[in-house]
Amino acid sequence: MEMEIHSVCLPPKQTTLQKLKHKLTEVFFPDDPLYRFKNQTWCKKLLLGLQFFFPIFQWGPEYNLSLLRSDVISGLTIASLAIPQGISYAKLANLPPIIGLYSSFVPPLIYSNLGSSRHLAVGPVSIASLVMGSMLSETVSFTQDPILYLKLAFTATFFAGLFQASLGLLRLGFVIDFLSKATLVGFMAGAAIIVSLQQLKGLLGIVHFTTRMQLIPVMSSVFKHKNEWSWQTIVMGLSFLVFLLITRNISMRKPKLFWVSAAAPLTSVIISTILVFCLKSKAHGISVIGNLPKGLNPPSSNMLYFNGQYLGLAIKTGLVTGILSLTEGIAVGRTFAALQNYQVDGNKEMMAIGFMNMAGSCTSCFVTTGSFSRSAINYNAGAQTAVSNIIMAATVLVTLLFLMPLFHYTPNVILASIIITAVIGLIDYQAAFRLWKVDKLDFLACLCSFFGVLFISVPLGLGIAVGVSVFKILLHVTRPNTVVLGNIPGTQLYQSLNRYKETLRIPSFLILAIESPMYFANCTYLQERILRWVREEEERVKANNENTLNYVILDMTAVTAIDTSGIEMVCELQKMLDKRSLQIVLANPTGNVMEKLHKSKVLESFESNSLYITVGEAITDITTTWKAQP
């Protein structure tokens, strides 16, 4: 068979500076965010810049009445959900309920100017509220020192915002990618269980309850205070819980009936408030929210706490809640953007969420982000632009100004039912089952974060889960696959002997595909493993009386990078095989591997015919030369 042999090229020469620039662009600007600005006039560039930083200028000019109609409907719908949830989540974070309403007013207004998602419904969310409550109350008691607690909450919110905005500004958005889906499935489920169990306090009417968050102390606290259980509370709580779960179920089966579950919480609040008001002389066991101050968000920048012994706690809480709320906000934004085929810019979203939280921390708000459940209802209700957030904020404004006294008799138990209904959807056992089926290690990461959150603590559970995910990457790098290849007869294709049954070994050749970069972390392993393949092949050849082994071909297609340890390994391997009169041949090294092999001058110690563009050409060329020899 006659065949042209192609030589292996080096990639085009680049200076270190060019390479650095290229690498930095890939790391920080993979999406080339400024491509719209290229080849534009100055005036156009200015407009584009304005649109870039304030997406409202992008869709604002084209806004019309029909869009407004949709946005008003969806805005009112999410407002009816945001008011009871806001109050509930504030309680989850051990904050005064009014803070929840404040947080549903200012942040949505800011987001609607800066954010690029059209469907995100902004406000407090369960996970971030829970984490903030659990982390702060571990050190500071919210009953004994409520002012300090409030200060720390605002400060944590400020740092959360600062952290989020910096991630966006510095284009380090990939940090949140390290919370893999698998980790989040476990984390969310664990957190949902923790949150639900915490609600037993409200649901059973217990007064003295543990502030700890783990499964065991919470359950023991529930049964230790059996004497505090109030049957009126339990009956009311359970009946509304059942009502809410049924409405939730209806909406899930028929997405068109989204308004059923959207209206249910406010309906429950209204009915239960009226009930308690009517029975107030008889129902002493049922605790109520009590007086809420009327009026708009008071400024709180004077409450930020920048020095003192709790600063570290505030920063830590800010970081953890910041990254969690960011993850939720970005994921929600991406999900709905994908459904409507538009793109949200992760880094810009981070800045929007970050600025909104920094502004929030100065106007008596705690951590807010895009909530999954409310965004879904927003989407289903037909929201078209961020104006639905403005409508929601306006509704909350009206509530804050005029309707606060109405919440006086709202029972706490109803808030507990609302929270349980909201978080129960976070337990995605089907996703966990899918993980088990497709990827066992992902399932393990999921389990770790689940049990970590349930039994240890929220931040540690999260840390463990990230650790498992990173360990998985390292394990893959540390113990890469090596596959023996064979030829598919009649072709130039070389594929795994084990996988493609029709493949045949080539006598005198051992062809190994290395399926990973060659790094310090795996070069000892790779060397041992390759030598073992060679030993086993030699034994097999001997046992079957075949031609002796002469060439070891390493298919380097999947070796996408090599470091100095890897280069040394290749060099050493070449020497060791040489001593056994085996020649090593490299097939298809990728650009930067080739460049490094060239720079380190390793190839100079190789035979002349030991570098080919494909395994096929290597074998053709070597056998031809071989036969030509006497």
> What is the footprint of a copy of itself within residues 173-212 (CB under 8 A)?
174, 177-178, 180-183
Q: Per CB under 8 A, does 408 bind a copy of itself?
A: no
Q: Per CB under 8 A, does 591 bind a copy of itself?
A: yes
Sequence-distant (≥ 6) Cβ neighbours of residue 528 within 8 angstroms = none
Q: Per CB under 8 A, does 434 bind a copy of itself?
A: yes
Q: CA dihedral defined by 270, 276, 278, 282, rounded to 10 degrees? A: 170
* Contact of 509 with 619, CB cutoff 8 Å: yes
C-alpha to C-alpha distance for 424 and 193, rounded to whole angstroms: 8
Residue in 438, 547, 624, 625 binding a copy of itself, rule: CB under 8 A:
438
| Sites for a copy of itself among residues 317-356 (CB under 8 A) | 338, 341, 343, 346
C-alpha to C-alpha distance for 382 and 463, rounded to whole angstroms: 38
Phi, psi of 327 (to 5 degrees): -60, -45
The smaller minimum CB distance to a copy of itself, of residues 75 and 329, is found at: 329
Closest contact distance (angstroms) between CB of 9 and a copy of itself is 5
C-alpha to C-alpha distance for 586 and 609, rounded to whole angstroms: 9
Q: Per CB under 8 A, does 239 bind a copy of itself?
A: no
**Longest CA span, the chain:** 112
Residue in 208, 253, 256, 440 binding a copy of itself, rule: CB under 8 A:
440
Span of 304-312, 349-357, 381-389, 526-534 interacting with a copy of itself by CB under 8 A: 526-534
Closest contact distance (angstroms) between CB of 536 and a copy of itself is 8
* Contact of 198 with 128, CB cutoff 8 Å: no
Residue in 263, 319, 477, 484 binding a copy of itself, rule: CB under 8 A:
477
Closest contact distance (angstroms) between CB of 46 and a copy of itself is 23
| Sites for a copy of itself among residues 71-110 (CB under 8 A) | none
Span of 29-37, 42-50, 287-295, 541-549 interacting with a copy of itself by CB under 8 A: 29-37
Residue in 499, 548, 607, 625 binding a copy of itself, rule: CB under 8 A:
499
Q: Per CB under 8 A, does 476 bind a copy of itself?
A: yes
The smaller minimum CB distance to a copy of itself, of residues 313 and 573, is found at: 573
Q: Per CB under 8 A, does 21 bind a copy of itself?
A: no
The smaller minimum CB distance to a copy of itself, of residues 279 and 558, is found at: 558
Sequence-distant (≥ 6) Cβ neighbours of residue 454 within 8 angstroms = 190, 193, 194, 214, 215, 461
* Contact of 209 with 141, CB cutoff 8 Å: no
Closest contact distance (angstroms) between CB of 459 and a copy of itself is 20
Closest contact distance (angstroms) between CB of 597 and a copy of itself is 9
C-alpha to C-alpha distance for 179 and 498, rounded to whole angstroms: 35
Q: Per CB under 8 A, does 287 bind a copy of itself?
A: no
Pairing of strands 551-555, 583-587: parallel
Q: Per CB under 8 A, does 532 bind a copy of itself?
A: yes
Neighbouring C-beta atoms of residue 94, cutoff 10 Å: 21
Q: Per CB under 8 A, does 479 bind a copy of itself?
A: yes
* Contact of 355 with 114, CB cutoff 8 Å: yes
Span of 44-52, 159-167, 431-439, 449-457 interacting with a copy of itself by CB under 8 A: 431-439
Neighbouring C-beta atoms of residue 389, cutoff 10 Å: 34
Q: What is the 3-state secondary structure (H, E, C) of 1-47?
A: CCCCCCCCCCCCCCCHHHHHHHHHHHHHCCCCCCHHHCCCCHHHHHH
Q: Per CB under 8 A, does 606 bind a copy of itself?
A: no
Span of 71-79, 126-134, 195-203, 486-494 interacting with a copy of itself by CB under 8 A: 486-494
Distances (CA, A) of 523 to 57, 73, 128, 520: 54, 61, 42, 5
Helix (H) / strand (E) element for 150: namely: helix 146-169
Closest contact distance (angstroms) between CB of 31 and a copy of itself is 5
Closest CA relative to residue 314, chosen from 141, 159, 457, 144 = 159
Q: Per CB under 8 A, does 490 bind a copy of itself?
A: yes
Span of 128-136, 163-171, 270-278, 515-523 interacting with a copy of itself by CB under 8 A: 515-523
Q: Per CB under 8 A, does 34 bind a copy of itself?
A: no
Closest CA relative to residue 267, chosen from 418, 396, 104, 100 = 418
Tell me, residue by residue from 545 to 584, as one string, x for binding to a copy of itself by CB under 8 A and - for no binding.
Answer: ------------xx-xx-xxx-xx---x--xx--x-----
Span of 237-245, 320-328, 421-429, 592-600 interacting with a copy of itself by CB under 8 A: 592-600
* Contact of 458 with 449, CB cutoff 8 Å: no
* Contact of 114 with 426, CB cutoff 8 Å: no
Closest contact distance (angstroms) between CB of 490 and a copy of itself is 7
Give me 619's structure tokens: 């074998």
Amino acid (one-letter) located at 161: G
The smaller minimum CB distance to a copy of itself, of residues 141 and 492, is found at: 492
Q: Per CB under 8 A, does 523 bind a copy of itself?
A: yes
